[in-house]
Amino acid sequence: MSNPAPFNPPVRSLMGPGPSNCAPSVLQSLSKPMLGHLDPEFVRMMEEIKSMQRAVMQTKNLMTFPVSGTGSAGMEFCLVNLLEPGDEVIIGVNGVFGGRMCDLAERCGAKVTKVSSDWGRIIEPQQIADALKQTPKPKLVAVVHAETSTGALTPVEEVSKLVREAGALFLIDTVTSLAGCPVKIDEWGVDAVYSGTQKCLSCPPGLAPVSLSERALKVATSRRTKVQSWYLDVNLLAGYWGEERVYHHTAPISMNYALHEALRLVLEEGLEARFARHRENHLALKAALDVMKLKIMSQEGHQLWQLNAVQVPEGVDEAGVRKQLLTQYGIEVGAGLGPMKGKIWRVGLMGATSTRDNVVKFVQAFGDILNAGGYTCDTKAAVAAAK
């Protein structure tokens, strides 16, 4: 075969469920000179990453660092370290990622009680309360804070109080919520948390920020059995990310450069200002959708600012609209998953992608495509509402 030409990716507006667009300085950081994973300067940077990650997660947990792997690796890290065969766990399932947690917990040998809600709705605290009454000795309760597949935001603070009273550990998925809306690990009494870099942190995918409370870490270090994953064993990773700096694996050097810059930008903007930006752009999109007589499918009062599940009108070609947005306008949006397949477009406004210009650009293109396809809407008025 002939040697292919260098790959030059097209420029896209990434307005799907992730990844989001990266800030220029984050991309530039990836091209910085390589260091060894035990180089003193790299180690110094690791400490800065840990410190900034604590600030963004609003926690003082010492065991706070990025796992080498995507957000799903963060999910697996938390579950394989905290669960042993026979442990009883309660997991909220209202979309793809609650279901994935169940699968992982079962692979750990845990006895899983599923607390289910219709896709698009939250896990109600009362559902967890009822499940706790039926589970004699729960080891852990887990919920997805921001369900990427549906755009629903579950009120985890209320759930946490119930979990604490039951004496169980509390785990939350913040892959889509971290750095886009409030995530208060210590204030909420969360024991284990994982996220991903490619959503509201606006960093390339490849690292999973995680944090374990002292209570969770004690569980992980006093297990009866070995952690089923050598690569994700916190007892081994602590030697590398802790004070000893014992070799465990070769960290993805350049990805850590990128995360360092991404976290720095979050803190430079300020958490409250960043949350306000995500909220305002969500509301601008929602106002435009109202004019277009379209609605967001996720539960009213619990709709994510970062991920908007827009209902597909009857008779409209869902996949065709997505294709036109990508090929004609360079805008990527996501399809629905599971029972929402073909019923929603997932429109992401995450991190660097969450700008008013992107909202207006999307509304203009979206309206033009819908009108050309036979769905009548006032694109000009919708654009005005988005501004």
**Complete DSSP assignment for 371-385:** HHTT----HHHHHHH
Handedness of CA 47, 51, 57, 58 (dihedral sign): positive
CATH architecture of the region 270-386: Alpha-Beta Complex (3.90)
Per-domain boundaries in the chain: 24-268, 270-386
Residue 244 pLDDT: 83
Residues 6+ apart with CB under 8 A from 227: 80, 81, 220, 233, 234, 235
Q: How confident is the model over 207-262, as pLDDT tens digits?
A: 999 999 999 999 999 999 999 999 999 999 999 998 888 889 999 999 999 999 99
Query: CATH assignment of 24-268, given 1.10.357.10, 3.40.640.10, 1.20.58.1610, 1.10.3720.10?
Result: 3.40.640.10
Query: For position 105, what pLDDT does the model report?
Result: 98
User: Which pLDDT score, from 0 to 100, does residue 284 have?
Assistant: 98
145-162: average pLDDT: 96
Calpha distance 365→295 (Å, rounded): 17
Residue 369, both tokens? 């495509």
Common-topology check for domains 24-268 and 270-386: no
pLDDT of 1 over the 90 cut: no
Residue 57: phi and psi, rounded to 5, are: -80, -5
Confidence of residue 96 (pLDDT cuts 50, 70, 90): very high
* Average per-residue pLDDT for the chain: 97
What does the alpha-carbon distance between residue 381 and residue 241 come to, in Å, rounded to a whole number? 53
pLDDT in tens, 338-367: 999 999 999 999 999 999 999 999 999 999
Average pLDDT estimate for 299-327: 97
Tokens, residue 242: 């802790």
Give the closest residue to 380 by CA, choosing from 303, 292, 305: 292
